[in-house]
A and B are shown apart, each in its own frame.
Chain A
Amino acid sequence: MQTVFVRPELCVCCRHCEVACAVEHSQSKTIFGAIGEERISQPRIHVEPGIDYLAFPNRCRHCDPAPCMQVCPTDALVRDKPTGSVIVQYPLCIGCAVCAMACPFGIITFHRVSQISADRDVNAKCDNCIERQKAGKIPACAEACKTGALEFGDANDLIRVSRKDFTLRMLKSEGTDVEVPRIPENVRAFRAILKELAEMS
């Protein structure tokens, strides 16, 4: 199972992923073109602010079985077998938002998309960049992420990294003394300042 794995502790809120996503789903597929298109392409990944000036990059998990697919009354949502992605067939989408109600992650948003000419908002969620994947590329968000907060690969491989981190923590038996993944001292100091500011308001 291929997935974009999220490591929120590495997210620096730069929103490169949002920009890359919007560009990828634009008509021109270039940043300069995308900003001038009639239907401005919207990011399908959401770097959502949380507490202490930290954020979580939230995108479709392409669940299987997918709650959104199960509730869609027009079968607009289908699975792309080779990549395991949940895909929206835009012409079939009636904008009822039942999929969004069923989605456990709140990542479904409705917009005009350039992929169809119809003048209505449709489910414009993450399509896992299947076109890119078919061309042998990884999803645009993961490619744009420079910190490793978004990593594309075999889910079990990516999870193994976290498991190894946990193992290390257990063996050292030092609880919070072992920080995994290790956050550099300067970044930790900066985040401590942000946390202090956040707690003051």
Chain B
Amino acid sequence: MINNLPEAQKIVKNRMLDRADQETAIKAMDDGVETVWDRFASQQPQCGFGNLGVCCNRCAMGPCRTEPFGKKPTRGVCGAEADLIVARNLLDDLTTGAAAHSDHGREVVEAMLATSEGRAQGYQIHDEGKLHVVATEYGIKTAGRKKEEIAGELARALLEEYGTLKNRIQMTERAPQKTKDAWKKAGIMPRSVDREIVEAMHRIHMGVDSDYTNILLHAMRTALSDGWGGSMMGTDASDILFGTPTPLKAWINLATISRDKVNIVLHGHNPVLSDMIVKAAADPGLVKRAKDAGAAGINLAGMCCTGNELLMRHGIPLAGSFFDQELVIATGAIEAMVIDYQCIFPAVTQTAGCYHTKVVTTSRKAKIPGSIYKEFRPENAYDTAKEIIGLAIDNFANRNPDRVRIPDKPMQLMSGFSEEAIRKALGGTYKPLIDAIVAGKIKGAVGIVGCNNPKIKQDYGHVTLAKELIRRDILVVETGCAAIACGKAGLLVPEAADMAGPGLKSVCNALGIPPVLHMGSCVDCSRILVLAANIAKELNVGISDLPLGGAAPEWYSQKAISIGTYFVASGVYTVLGIAPKIFGSKNVVNLLAAQLNGVVNATFAIEPDPVKAADLLEAEINRKRKALGI
């Protein structure tokens, strides 16, 4: 299919940073496989009304748009001006993201409840220590009680956080007092997970909230109900069920796909599915069956955030990020891609159709035409997991060796940096880290999070920003596809400290840790919040006083809007590499980029160039250092 190889190589070099990705992208082109970059190109030009956020498609009087150059129409049919249309759209997007995280969290808690009641097949309470810690926060007695009993009571208490009666979320108590006071003062203390989401949907109905400031304040409250609610519960319930991550070494990139084993890619987000597949894959009967089928064994490879979950807890190899989902299939060596939900391209079954790969959907919430549906519930989880693996083994015979091309050289990485693990590595207290910050060895820390987006070369934003920051003695913590990008680029190994400034390098070398810490999946951005909160509490300040920053250089998802907003609402200045759809309203831009300083002492900034983004983050860190008198 490729007639001009140098031209093709030039194209893929523009599209992605990673060598293994580039090699496989060439193969995909050669095989005539359509990818996200092709679809992005065929979408050009994209609509400016949509891009500016002034397109409103909510009600049947519309669709409407306002004119961005100062002419008519300046109002939609209902009378909404650009400020309102932009704010409503933003709240809508943010709420979608918060709902996605929080509903994921709910499913983990439900699995915990089913486990505690003996209804869940194959699950068990893995981390009794963390169970006790969280249960105690919820006022649940632990002494002398069976872990299942505690877990049952805790699961019910966590499910209450989604309800409407309690009117407060316990986990927000983890925030420092000053941060909580700022939320109370602004009226953005979240009341419950589902309530904020439902209320957001109510407010964006025509004729409800028409004040863009009021809408954006609710957006912050909804985001907080995600970060300090749904996502945090997702993280904690996962830790209790599957174990709290501890540092470990593993392998990453498309070279983790095996030439001679049955390859199963686990793609999506929730460990409730993927962790059980990991468990079932160790079944001697299945391993024998794979060998009988002519394979050397079973190779599981993670993808996207469920890959991060498996990597963090079990060191399962990680094949790649969001934009690698089509490329991994194009290796021609994938027997099954097993998915739950979120960030799965609807086109993935079309991609799989070009090879022998079977796509297995597992969630009632996320079906894809052309996939094999195996409903996954806690009650039959182990059996279903075995069935799915069996299906992949049976498909091994259909692999066409002539169509297989797997890049070589996987990268090593260090993962497993839960908040608990970081604290433990520091000796049980943040004092050594605080001392290093006060001494200026480490200037501050930045959380780089988020996705891939075809508007920027895959991984370029993540990797360049991380390198720039560590060079300036700024510690980087990462989750999601940002962490995967830096793993592929070799930044998640202790040796990467050589790329750091002298201060950060000495701290990393003393502790044997990388300068860029992998903290988990996108719901695990909650770990970053807890980390920041614990440091702030040791210093008796608010999170917004700390020399911290956030960045989402390549974000695409509504979930990232929620994450960015709970970062900012929690007091963390956050730089976005892709412009959100808000530029149709000067007032909304001004509120998010300037006025929020007066509310939460943090704002958003937008800067696509990762080097300039590093300048902004460094300046903010210096501003906060100065205010602290260090």
Chain A 170-184, CB within 8 Å of chain B: the 1/0 string?
A: 000000000001111
A147, A182, A197, A201, most chain B CB atoms within 10 A: A197
A148 in the interface (beta carbon within 8 A): yes
Task: Assess whether B583 is in contact with A186, with CB atoms less than 8 Å apart.
Answer: yes
- Closest residue of chain A to B41 (Cβ to Cβ) is A49
Chain A 99-113, CB within 8 Å of chain B: the 1/0 string?
A: 000000000000000
B369 in the interface (beta carbon within 8 A): no
Task: Assess whether A53 is in contact with B44, with CB atoms less than 8 Å apart.
Answer: yes
B168 to chain A, nearest CB (A): 38
Q: Which of B33-60 contact A (CB under 8 A)?
A: 44-52
List residues of chain B with CB within 8 A of the CB of A147.
48, 67-69, 71
Task: Assess whether A190 is in contact with B583, with CB atoms less than 8 Å apart.
Answer: yes
A1 in the interface (beta carbon within 8 A): no
List residues of chain A with CB within 8 A of the CB of B456.
197, 200-201
B163 in the interface (beta carbon within 8 A): no
Q: What are 6 A-B contacts defined by CB distance under 8 Å?
A: A146-B67, A147-B48, A193-B606, A200-B608, A201-B456, A201-B457
Task: Assess whether A13 is in contact with B68, with CB atoms less than 8 Å apart.
Answer: no
- Among B14, B47, B73, B589, the residue within 8 A (CB) of A12 is B47
Q: Which of A123-155 contact B (CB under 8 A)?
A: 146-148
CA gap between A13 and B609 in the complex, in Å: 24
B182 to chain A, nearest CB (A): 28
List residues of chain B with CB within 8 A of the CB of A55.
44-45
B65 in the interface (beta carbon within 8 A): yes
B598 to chain A, nearest CB (A): 21
- Among B68, B457, B586, the residue within 8 A (CB) of A200 is B457
Task: Assess whether B583 is in contact with A12, with CB atoms less than 8 Å apart.
Answer: no
Task: Assess whether B583 is in contact with A13, with CB atoms less than 8 Å apart.
Answer: no
Task: Assess whether A183 is in contact with B69, with CB atoms less than 8 Å apart.
Answer: yes
> A147-B71, A148-B69 given. 6 additional CB < 8 A pairs?
A13-B45, A14-B50, A54-B45, A148-B71, A200-B457, A200-B609
CA gap between A98 and B69 in the complex, in Å: 40
Task: Assess whether A187 is in contact with B583, with CB atoms less than 8 Å apart.
Answer: yes
Q: Which of A46-76 contact B (CB under 8 A)?
A: 47-49, 53-55
Which 10 A-B residue pairings sit nearest by Cβ, starting from the closest? A12-B48, A13-B45, A190-B583, A49-B44, A55-B45, A14-B47, A49-B45, A186-B586, A193-B579, A196-B608
Given known contacts A185-B586, A201-B14, A201-B457, A13 and B47 CB-to-CB distance under 8 angstroms: yes
CA gap between A200 and B464 in the complex, in Å: 12
B585 in the interface (beta carbon within 8 A): yes
Task: Assess whether A13 is in contact with B586, with CB atoms less than 8 Å apart.
Answer: no
Chain B 358-390, CB within 8 Å of chain A: the 1/0 string?
A: 000000000000000000000000000000000
- Closest residue of chain A to B610 (Cβ to Cβ) is A200
A158 in the interface (beta carbon within 8 A): no
Q: Which of B244-295 contact A (CB under 8 A)?
A: none
A47 to chain B, nearest CB (A): 6
- Among B47, B69, B609, the residue within 8 A (CB) of A184 is B69
Chain B 318-341, CB within 8 Å of chain A: the 1/0 string?
A: 000000000000000000000000
B584 in the interface (beta carbon within 8 A): yes
Task: Assess whether B45 is in contact with A184, with CB atoms less than 8 Å apart.
Answer: no
CA gap between A16 and B361 in the complex, in Å: 37
CA gap between A15 and B65 in the complex, in Å: 13
A10, A48, A49, A187, most chain B CB atoms within 10 A: A187
CA gap between A48 and B46 in the complex, in Å: 11
Query: Which positions in A face B, CB cutoff 8 Å?
Result: 10-15, 47-49, 53-55, 146-148, 181-187, 189-190, 193-194, 196-197, 200-201
List residues of chain B with CB within 8 A of the CB of A11.
48
- Closest residue of chain B to A57 (Cβ to Cβ) is B45
- Among B46, B65, B589, the residue within 8 A (CB) of A13 is B46
List residues of chain B with CB within 8 A of the CB of A47.
45
CA gap between A89 and B44 in the complex, in Å: 32
- Among A12, A53, A181, A183, the residue within 8 A (CB) of B49 is A12
B456 to chain A, nearest CB (A): 6
Main secondary structure of the interface of B (DSSP, over half): loop
B77 to chain A, nearest CB (A): 14
List residues of chain B with CB within 8 A of the CB of A148.
69, 71
B455 in the interface (beta carbon within 8 A): yes
A12, A193, A197, most chain B CB atoms within 10 A: A12
List residues of chain B with CB within 8 A of the CB of A48.
45
CA gap between A85 and B342 in the complex, in Å: 52
Given known contacts A186-B584, A186-B589, A193-B606, A10 and B45 CB-to-CB distance under 8 angstroms: no
- Closest residue of chain A to B50 (Cβ to Cβ) is A14
Q: Which of B446-502 contact A (CB under 8 A)?
A: 455-457, 460
List residues of chain A with CB within 8 A of the CB of B589.
186, 189
- Closest residue of chain B to A198 (Cβ to Cβ) is B455
List residues of chain B with CB within 8 A of the CB of A201.
14, 456-457
Task: Assess whether B608 is in contact with A12, with CB atoms less than 8 Å apart.
Answer: no
B629 in the interface (beta carbon within 8 A): no
- Closest residue of chain A to B48 (Cβ to Cβ) is A12
- Closest residue of chain B to A56 (Cβ to Cβ) is B45
Task: Assess whether B608 is in contact with A184, with CB atoms less than 8 Å apart.
Answer: no
B70 in the interface (beta carbon within 8 A): yes
Task: Assess whether A12 is in contact with B68, with CB atoms less than 8 Å apart.
Answer: yes
CA gap between A181 and B586 in the complex, in Å: 19
CA gap between A91 and B65 in the complex, in Å: 40
Task: Assess whether A146 is in contact with B73, with CB atoms less than 8 Å apart.
Answer: yes
Task: Assess whether B49 is in contact with A14, with CB atoms less than 8 Å apart.
Answer: yes
Given known contacts A12-B68, A146-B73, A181-B69, A196 and B609 CB-to-CB distance under 8 angstroms: yes
A153 to chain B, nearest CB (A): 15
- Closest residue of chain A to B609 (Cβ to Cβ) is A196
A55, A148, A200, most chain B CB atoms within 10 A: A200
